[in-house]
Amino acid sequence: MPDDIQNDEVIGQMLFDKAKTEYPYLANQDIAFKYTPSENPEYMLEHYQGEDIPDWGKGRKQAIEVFNTKTSPLDILGDAVSHYGVNSDPQLQALYQQFSGQLDPAMMQQRYQYHADNLGEKRPYDQWYQSTGLPEMFRGYTFNQWDNAKSMYTPEQLQTLDAVRSYLKIK
């Protein structure tokens, strides 16, 4: 095995081990993990589940592939929770549904239009909402993915997202 492949595997395993140490929720999940360096600095990570799990993750319930060492343990937790945990963990599922009901439909339509106009979104609104719009709104504050995120949420939404942070032991 070439040295660069071995180094990539070590870097990836160290990052995943750190994520599981910082966020014990991850340690109890059936996650395949792989680090694949990318030339694109904007591309951080990808989450897979069900039929979309690549061959290297077959047999697991979910898989995460990290492409950039700037990806943090909190980013890994955020993807695992927002794409899988909100459907498989009853407590997260309840909080996610609560949060979804607190979102302003007009604001989400504006976000969708922005994605369509500026980010090449082509899916119908309902597909975008379920796989991109709702998860990104859920992650923005909860997993520290957006600067000045608090200003984007109502006090009621922040209360729900703080309950998620508490459950996952996010400081």
User: What tens digit of pLDDT does each residue of 109-126 get?
Assistant: 999 999 999 999 999 999
The pLDDT tens digits of the residues spanning 115-167 come to 999 999 999 999 999 989 999 999 999 999 888 788 889 999 999 999 999 99
Q: Which of 15-19, 37-41, 44-48, 83-87 has the lowest mean pLDDT?
A: 37-41
3-state secondary structure the chain: CCHHHHHHHHHHHHHHHHHHHHCHHHHCCCEEEEECCCCCCCCCEEEEEHHHCCHHHCCCCEEEEECCCCCCHHHHHHHHHHHHHHHHCHHHHHHHHHHHHHCCHHHHHHHHHHHHHHCCCCCCHHHHHHHHHHHHHHHHHHCCCCCCHHHHCCHHHHHHHHHHHHHHCCC
pTM above 0.95, yes or no: no
Mean pLDDT for 18-35 is 93
User: Is the Cα dihedral 133, 135, 137, 140 positive or negative?
Assistant: negative
- Contacts with 68 (C-beta within 8 Å, 6 or more apart), sequence order: 37, 38, 41, 43, 44, 45
Average pLDDT, the chain: 91
Instruction: Report d(CA 149, CA 151) in Å as an integer.
Output: 5
Query: Residue 140 has which token pair?
Result: 């923005």
- pLDDT at position 5 is 55
**168: closest CA among 55, 102, 91, 84?**
91
42: confidence class by pLDDT, cuts 50, 70, 90: confident
pLDDT above 80: residue 9: no
Orientation angle between helical segments 134-142 and 90-102, nearest 10 degrees: 100
Mean per-residue pLDDT, 17-23: 94
pLDDT at 6: 62
